[in-house]
Each structure stands twice: as C-alpha cells, then as structure tokens.
Amino acid sequence: MREALRVLTPKLQSTLAQLPYVPRALALVMAAAPSWTIAWGVLLVLQGMLRQSRWEATPIASLTRCSWSP
C-alpha cells in the first residue's frame, strides 16, 4: 500500500497542477468549434447517465454477442 501511495502521490500532484489550465483549454476549444464542443459535452453526459443506470441497448448488444455467419 505504501508503494502505491509513493507512486501515485507525484502523479496526483502533477495532475492537480494542470487543473488551472482546464478552463482556458476548454475556452480555446469552444472558440474553435462551438457546436462540436457542445455535442461532445452532451454525448459525454449521456454516456455517464447510461453507465449510471446500467442501461443497455438490448437489440444491438445481442447482435454483437451472437456468433453467426451469413
């Protein structure tokens, strides 16, 4: 456990040091392609909601699991 903390602590500190740049990066992306950024955000939220509810598109999922050949 201590070894994991020793490895993860610098990585976490590095990640936290990058957080102040997130709003500027998102503003840059939003200025470059606002409609794509909004679409990406909506899809990201939907993906999170679908995972949260463990919803599965049954017909599509069943097709991907079956092993049939034409």
Q: Does residue 60 have a pLDDT over 70?
A: no
Q: What is the pLDDT of residue 56?
A: 55
Domain positions in the chain: 21-51
13: alpha, beta or left? (left if phi > 0; alpha if psi -120 to 50): alpha
| pLDDT tens figures, 41-50 | 999 999 888 8
Cα gap 70→64, rounded to integer Å: 14
Exposed, middle or buried by CB within 10 Å (0-12, 13-18, 19+), for 43?
Answer: exposed
| pLDDT tens figures, 7-30 | 889 999 999 999 999 999 999 999
**What is the average pLDDT value for the chain, to the nearest integer?**
83
Q: Does residue 55 have a pLDDT over 80?
A: no
